[in-house]
Protein backbone atom coordinates (compact mmCIF):
# COMPACT_ATOMS: atom_id res chain seq x y z
CA UNK A 1 0.00 0.00 0.00
CA UNK A 2 1.29 3.46 -0.87
CA UNK A 3 2.28 5.59 2.15
CA UNK A 4 1.47 8.82 0.34
CA UNK A 5 -1.79 10.58 1.11
CA UNK A 6 -4.20 9.95 -1.76
CA UNK A 7 -6.00 12.68 -3.68
CA UNK A 8 -9.23 11.35 -2.18
CA UNK A 9 -7.91 11.79 1.37
CA UNK A 10 -6.85 15.35 0.63
CA UNK A 11 -10.20 16.16 -1.01
CA UNK A 12 -12.23 14.74 1.86
CA UNK A 13 -10.12 16.61 4.43
CA UNK A 14 -10.60 19.88 2.53
CA UNK A 15 -14.34 19.31 2.26
CA UNK A 16 -14.65 18.55 5.95
CA UNK A 17 -12.57 21.56 6.98
CA UNK A 18 -14.46 23.93 4.70
CA UNK A 19 -17.96 22.76 5.61
CA UNK A 20 -17.34 22.61 9.33
CA UNK A 21 -15.72 26.05 9.44
CA UNK A 22 -18.24 27.90 7.27
CA UNK A 23 -21.52 26.71 8.76
CA UNK A 24 -21.96 26.58 12.50
CA UNK A 25 -25.29 24.79 12.19
CA UNK A 26 -24.52 22.51 9.24
CA UNK A 27 -23.93 18.82 9.63
CA UNK A 28 -20.57 19.41 8.03
CA UNK A 29 -19.67 16.50 5.85
CA UNK A 30 -20.91 13.79 8.16
CA UNK A 31 -23.47 12.31 5.85
CA UNK A 32 -26.04 9.95 7.35
CA UNK A 33 -26.26 6.41 5.98
CA UNK A 34 -29.23 5.39 3.86
CA UNK A 35 -31.99 4.52 6.37
CA UNK A 36 -33.62 1.96 4.07
CA UNK A 37 -30.35 0.10 3.55
CA UNK A 38 -29.54 0.03 7.26
CA UNK A 39 -33.08 -1.21 7.98
CA UNK A 40 -32.40 -4.03 5.50
CA UNK A 41 -29.30 -5.04 7.46
CA UNK A 42 -26.64 -3.16 5.51
CA UNK A 43 -23.92 -1.41 7.52
CA UNK A 44 -22.40 1.80 6.19
CA UNK A 45 -18.63 1.39 6.27
CA UNK A 46 -17.05 4.44 4.62
CA UNK A 47 -16.91 6.66 1.55
CA UNK A 48 -14.31 5.69 -1.04
CA UNK A 49 -12.77 6.65 -4.31
CA UNK A 50 -12.72 4.09 -7.13
CA UNK A 51 -9.49 2.38 -6.04
CA UNK A 52 -10.54 2.11 -2.40
CA UNK A 53 -13.96 0.76 -3.46
CA UNK A 54 -12.30 -2.04 -5.44
CA UNK A 55 -10.10 -2.88 -2.44
CA UNK A 56 -13.16 -2.88 -0.15
CA UNK A 57 -15.03 -5.27 -2.43
CA UNK A 58 -12.10 -7.70 -2.42
CA UNK A 59 -11.49 -7.45 1.32
CA UNK A 60 -15.09 -7.65 2.55
CA UNK A 61 -15.97 -10.43 0.09
CA UNK A 62 -13.02 -12.47 1.34
CA UNK A 63 -14.28 -11.93 4.89
CA UNK A 64 -17.71 -13.35 4.01
CA UNK A 65 -19.68 -10.13 3.45
CA UNK A 66 -21.94 -8.97 0.71
CA UNK A 67 -20.79 -5.58 -0.56
CA UNK A 68 -23.00 -2.87 -1.97
CA UNK A 69 -21.76 0.35 -3.57
CA UNK A 70 -24.09 3.34 -3.59
CA UNK A 71 -23.74 6.95 -4.71
CA UNK A 72 -23.00 9.27 -1.81
CA UNK A 73 -26.29 10.80 -0.63
CA UNK A 74 -25.73 14.55 -0.44
CA UNK A 75 -29.36 15.62 0.00
CA UNK A 76 -28.78 16.62 3.64
CA UNK A 77 -25.99 19.07 2.80
CA UNK A 78 -26.85 22.75 2.85
CA UNK A 79 -27.27 24.68 -0.39
CA UNK A 80 -24.03 26.54 0.37
CA UNK A 81 -22.17 23.23 0.13
CA UNK A 82 -22.63 22.88 -3.64
CA UNK A 83 -18.86 22.46 -4.05
CA UNK A 84 -18.95 19.59 -1.60
CA UNK A 85 -21.87 18.00 -3.42
CA UNK A 86 -20.07 18.03 -6.74
CA UNK A 87 -16.91 16.59 -5.19
CA UNK A 88 -18.80 13.87 -3.31
CA UNK A 89 -20.31 12.80 -6.64
CA UNK A 90 -16.88 11.31 -7.41
CA UNK A 91 -17.06 8.96 -4.42
CA UNK A 92 -19.00 5.84 -3.49
CA UNK A 93 -20.57 4.81 -0.19
CA UNK A 94 -19.57 1.29 0.85
CA UNK A 95 -22.20 -0.86 2.60
CA UNK A 96 -21.72 -4.44 3.80
CA UNK A 97 -23.72 -7.17 5.45
CA UNK A 98 -22.88 -10.71 6.47
CA UNK A 99 -23.86 -13.29 3.88
CA UNK A 100 -26.82 -15.37 5.02
Q: Does some domain include residue 2? A: no
Q: Does some domain include residue 1? A: no
Can you give the pTM of this predicted structure?
A: 0.69
Q: Does some domain include residue 24? A: yes
**Mean pLDDT, rounded, for 8-30:** 50
List the one residue out of 93, 76, 88 whose CA is nearest residue 25.
Answer: 76
Distance, in Å, from the CA atom of 8 to the CA atom of 72, rounded to the nearest integer, reads 14
Domain count, the chain: 1
Tens digit of each residue's pLDDT (9 = 90 or more) over 53-74: 999 999 999 999 999 999 988 8
| Cβ-Cβ contacts under 8 Å for 100 (sequence gap 6 or more) | none
Beta strands in the chain (DSSP E): 43-48, 65-71, 92-98
Domain limits for position 13: 7-98
Q: Does some domain include residue 14? A: yes
Amino acid sequence: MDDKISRADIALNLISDNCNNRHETSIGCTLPPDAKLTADGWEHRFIADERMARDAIDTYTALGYEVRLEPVNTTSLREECSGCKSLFAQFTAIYTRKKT
